Amino acid sequence: MDISTTSHGIATTDRRSVGRTVRAYVALTKPRVLELLLVTTVPVMILAQGGLPDLWLIFATVIGGSLSAGSAAAFNMYLDRDIDAHMQRTENRPLVTGEVSPRGALVFAWTLAAVSTVWLWVFTNPLAAGLSAAAIFFYVVIYTMILKRRTEQNIVWGGIAGCFPVLIGWSAVTGSLSWAALILFALVFLWTPPHYWPLSMKYARQYEEVDVPMLGATRSGSQVGLQVILYAWATVACSLLLIPVASMGLVYTVSSLVFGGWFVYESHRLYSRAVRGGEPRPMRVFHASITYLTLLFVAIAVDPLLPF
């Protein structure tokens, strides 16, 4: 037997095993959701500062917020592992495949929650840390444990957890909250249903099979489409409130009108297709909602940096 070759093979296997385990734990944090955290947090910090904040503060806030969001996601996967196993969309999550044990996921989630809270307390301020802890509580307890399996309005109120990053970003810079921060909070709150309900239409059958009353699974396409339209209009109207309250300039004003108009247009197309009995193509609105929010917050970041 070639001992050196065998040892090398074992070492390679060990490295692969460690790498796979690390990737599994990273997957528990729902990295794609963390992208939206960055999209909303950093622009809000720039707006709160009226320019570019201290780079260390941005780094500290993003790290703390990412750990906080990752904790909430890990708790969510731990609590939903029973239904995740029966949905095609979630059947490859680490707790379903066995790459991470339930105990391991729970310890990981609690660790991230503790570290994120302490981190933000030390490197930003107590208000930001408190808001971070509140976001975890709201997503895990209010949404995942109480609302998700009981009401079709689950994402409306449960989505509040996703609004906290704008408050965390604002408070990290100012140490307080303001009307502008609350408008941004309301903006993300109103945006969440027309963002998520099209996804629930796409996976309606899977939600029905696990008895989770997402609106897309409990109502007709036309009814969901109408709700998407109403919330899309409300989102755009809320975005316009920021103009006088935060003294936004030309870049944000034009962006909110143009991108908002496109978001509303896509929402109407979804409803129109559903009413006519055609294929609603809900994922078109889902992706449009992400692009809309991203571009709008880019405008929020750019606007304070320009002289007009």
| DSSP line for 18-58 | HHHHHHHHHHHT-HHHHHHHHHHHHHHHHHHHTSPPPHHHH
In this prediction, residue 67 carries a pLDDT of: 95
Query: Selecting from 3.20.140.10, 2.60.120.10, 1.10.357.140, 1.20.1250.20, what CATH number does the domain 28-177 have?
Result: 1.10.357.140
Contact 166, 191 (CB under 8 A): no
Could you tell me if 276 and 222 are in contact, meaning their C-beta atoms sit under 8 angstroms apart?
no
Q: Could you tell me the pTM of the whole model?
A: 0.90
The mean pLDDT values, 10 residues at a time, for the chain of 308 residues are: 50 65 91 82 96 96 95 95 90 92 96 98 98 96 94 89 95 97 97 94 90 90 94 98 96 97 96 87 94 96 89
Give the domain 178-308 fold: Four Helix Bundle (Hemerythrin (Met), subunit A) (1.20.120)
The maximal CA–CA distance of the chain, rounded, in angstroms, is 78
Q: What does residue 177 show for φ and ψ, rounded to 5 degrees?
A: -120, 165
The HSE-up count of residue 208 (CA atoms within 13 Å, CB side) is 9
Closest CA to 300 of 242, 244, 245: 242
Nearest partner of 55 among 46, 64, 65, judged by Cα: 46
What pLDDT is attached to residue 182? Answer: 97
Domain ranges for the chain, please list them: 28-177, 178-308
Using alpha carbons, select from 61, 45, 62, 43 the residue that is nearest to residue 298.
43
Type of residue at 242:
L
**Quick one: pLDDT at residue 159?**
84
pLDDT at 80: 94
CB-based burial label for 215 (10 Å; 0-12, 13-18, 19+): buried
The reported pLDDT for the residue numbered 20 is 86
Residue (of 206, 205, 201, 191) closest to 225 by Cα position: 201
| Whole-number Å distance between alpha carbons of 241 and 37 | 22
